[in-house]
């Protein structure tokens, strides 16, 4: 944030934000397309964009290598599968 302490930089950032936010954020997709990741403040999530995955993963590797599965969803699916199979679920930790 040291960069923002300079008044000229702060003014430039504000002008740029105003330009892209004008007309109900009509031009924000131009900025979003250039991002490598997105941070969502509401739920503190960081998501790699397609461009970020391409940058981090060479073409010969799995592009989903850096994607972490949603543990809650996986646990729910596993419990449902065990229940349908009539087996016993593993003990929770």
Q: Which helix (H) or strand (E) holds 37?
A: strand 37-40
As a whole number of angstroms, the distance between CA 66 and CA 24 comes to 33
- Provide the pLDDT for residue 1: 62
- What is the tens place of the pLDDT at every residue in 30-41? 888 889 988 888
State pTM to two decimals.
0.47
Cross-strand bridge partners of residue 39: 46
**CA-based nearest residue to 79, from 93, 92, 65:** 92
Dihedrals phi, psi of 18, to nearest 5 degrees: -60, -40
- What is the tens place of the pLDDT at every residue in 62-89? 777 777 777 888 888 888 888 888 766 5
Whether the pLDDT of residue 6 is over 60: the answer is yes
Whether the pLDDT of residue 53 is over 90: the answer is no
3-state secondary structure of 17: helix
């Amino acid at each position: 944030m040291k960069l923002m302490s300079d008044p000229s930089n702060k003014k430039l950032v504000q002008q740029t934000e105003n330009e892209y936010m004008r007309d109900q954020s009509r031009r924000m997709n131009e900025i979003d397309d250039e991002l490598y990741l997105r941070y969502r403040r509401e739920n503190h999530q960081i998501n790699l964009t397609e461009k970020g995955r391409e940058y981090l993963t060479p073409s010969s590797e799995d592009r989903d290598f850096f994607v972490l599965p949603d543990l809650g969803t996986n646990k729910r699916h596993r419990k449902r599968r065990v229940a349908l199979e009539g087996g016993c679920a593993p003990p929770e930790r």
